[in-house]
Amino acid sequence: MMKKASALILRRGISTFQSKLCKNDSLFRVHPSVSQALAENRPVVALESTIITHGMPYPHNLSTAKEVEAIVRAEEATPATVGVIDGKIHVGLSSEELDHLARCKSSMKVSRRDLPYVISKGLSGGTTVSATMIAAHRAGISVFVTGGIGGVHRDGENSLDISADLTELGRTPIAVVSAGVKSILDIGRTLEFLETQGVCVATYGTSKNFPAFFSPQSGFISPYQVCNPEEAAKLISSTLSLGLQSGVLLAVPIPQEHAAAGQQIEQAIQTAVTEASAKGITGRDVTPFILQKVNELTEGKSLQANIALIRNNAKVGSQIACALSKEMNKRKLRNTSDHHGKKSESDVVVIGGINVDFIAKGKTQTLLFGQTNPGSVCQSFGGVGRNIADSLSRLGYKPLFISATGADSHSDAVLNYCKHMNTSGVARLQDQSTATYCAVITESGELSLGLGDMDVHQQITEHYVSQFEKQLSSATLVCLDGNIPVSTIDYVCSVAKKHNINVWYEPTDSEKACKPFLSDAWKSLSYSSPNLAELCTMNKTLGIQTPEVLPSSLDEVLSVAVALSRPLLEHLHCLVVTLGAHGVLLCGEHDTGSVNLQPRKQKNSCRCPDGGDPPGAKDRHLCPDGAPGCTDVPGISAPHRPCAYLRLCGSQ
């Protein structure tokens, strides 16, 4: 539990919405609504964009794209249309970005092979099935809805013209919901190729008939069949749990009321295929040409059928995504229950702040003060203590969270969001305002200005917390954040000392880091997670010399962090020192090639670890003065301390 908790503690009280799966980098842009939904384990449906750029004429393409997104939202899922804009892969598009792609005359059709070129040139384009699968999987999305997938082209046994969609399904673990394979392709060979790639194929509905886009029947049979969203979700969940690294193709027949025109459309397709062949049209240009030609020959009936099947796929795919979200959450709860057994729900207590956060993000790198800047504002819920309790709750623990809010609309909102947590220890005070925090950040995410109203945290008093002394005295772990009053920290530490309880202190910021160190309360702490500046504050408070300027190079940072950790390890069992881009330094007692995170019952006598460093980690031994492995920093005194062991866990 301690290893998981230390990894998931969020340092600032802004938000827990960012997930490592959907973390933006220089090439990917994940829309905030998508990031938030993924972090909250809510259903998300990926949508491709070649239907916008190459599948339909304007304005049908734009209206259809917006309508499909609306259908996804109506089913209580979050749409994530994928596209490439100016060399950046976007997972989730704004209305303006959708309109840009719909109107753009120079958009490229972007498959797996095209992604490097389009990105390197800073171009825009619509993503095909394969490229959309790559982006969706990168973001952590498990369900992707499209019209129809590509396949083996007619005469493909000679031309080897096989869509990258098929190989992508064989190497990317994502469920693709489509109306089968376009009827202009060789459906039989396509199914054979999917089998070779190890792709699980199932028809959705009452029949195993494999659909052919405009027609509910292709003359071929799917290997499997699922009747409803729940069965489909279990199939996808099993695939993901097995770790096969291959996808699932769910073939959804076109609604019966639109299938009647199928025969006329099929005849038009044959005519269009013949004309394409006569004109020498090949490769990626075939499908757009045929779809446009078929639309002309059927006087728009094929376009209507195309839109109808996409709407239906969006509805079915969203229902499957919702069922999958429930199924995955059930599995997590079962696994957690199996792992933790009958553990008490209140054996972990978290005491700290709870905030309503407002994040104002500018659309420019430089913000001009004194005037209105273009940007966006979103609300989220944070507070360091709340973030810790939230993380532990999502791990399957049910910590008792003790905090204070006002009796206002902000309190209603945040407590409603925290229904999955045990908030029975949160006081709602009539004469107080719920803590709020506003961060103004630049386009790149740099903080320009922060404003906070945190006065209510001073109401988390010793008197109030003492009402929960029974829970505190029986807890296996108590987590404190630096927002609470010094007297409350002293009280909790005294209870911890009396009952031999492990206490984790998250200092929150460099000004608040000193609180336990103003008295001997800090000697009752077992764990703490400061950054380098907060570690300096802790040492200064104890009267220990610290550097006037914090170092920047990795070697200097490590040397200072080592020296400043030594005095605290006299009583603390473990320090988790966060070093920004340099990574995280675990400081504690050496145990078989690593840092022992298990609580110690008594201090061990000084002993240095033997043997070489474990592979795959940068390790440093922390020993008394003069002993092998000792690291000293000029200008910082280093009295005799117990031996400790440090590991640099990695960057980011």
Task: Look at phi and psi of residue 583 and say left if phi exceeds 0, alpha if psi is from -120 to 50, else beta.
Answer: left
Kindly state the DSSP code that residue 600 receives in the 8-state scheme: P
CB 106 within 8 A of CB 53: no
- State residue 220 phi and psi, 5-degree precision: -120, 160
Residue with token string 């728009």? 300
Contact partners, residue 94, CB within 8 Å, separation at least 6: 31
- Using CA atoms, how far residue 387 sits from 23, 73, 160, in Å, is 18, 27, 53
Alpha helices, DSSP H, located in 459-551:
462-465, 469-473, 486-499, 532-541
- Taking a C-beta distance cutoff of 8 angstroms, is the pair 582, 557 a contact? yes
- Are the C-beta atoms of 38 and 44 separated by less than 8 Å? yes
Q: Which of 48, 69, 75, 589 is catalytic?
A: 48
Count of beta carbons in the 10 Å neighbourhood of residue 149: 26
Query: Is residue 573 classed as helix, strand or coil in its secondary structure?
Result: coil
How many CB atoms are closer than 10 A to CB 224?
Answer: 14
Q: How far is CA 433 from CA 294, 412, 438, 523, 551, in A?
A: 63, 12, 15, 34, 40
- Listing DSSP states for 207-230 in one string gives --EEEETTEEEEEEE-SEEE-SHH
Contact 212, 218 (CB under 8 A): yes
| Known catalytic membership, residue 182 | yes
Q: Is 492 helix (H, G, I), strand (E, B) or coil?
A: helix
Nearest residue to 254 via CA among 267, 241, 263: 263
Residue 389 has phi, psi (to 5 degrees) of -65, -35
Place of tokens 């273009």: 374
Beta strands in 59-107 (DSSP E): 78-85, 88-91
Collapsing DSSP to helix, strand or coil, 413 comes out as helix
> Of the candidates 313, 261, 266, 335, which has an alpha carbon nearest to the alpha carbon of residue 294?
266
- CA 608/CA 424 separation, integer angstroms: 46
Point out the catalytic residue in the list 75, 97, 168, 182: 182
The answer to whether the beta carbons of residues 311 and 71 sit under 8 Å apart is: yes
Burial of 651 (0-12, 13-18, 19+ CB in 10 A): exposed
- What is the C-alpha separation between 413 and 13, in angstroms, rounded? 16
The DSSP bridge partners found for residue 127 are 110
User: Annotated catalytic, 48?
Assistant: yes
> What is the β-pairing status of strands 584-588 and 574-578?
antiparallel
Pair 515, 483: CB distance under 8 Å: no
Q: What is the CA radius of gyration of the chain?
A: 29
Smallest CA-to-CA distance from 320 within 216, 176, 210, 217 is with: 176
Q: Name the residues annotated as catalytic.
A: 48, 182
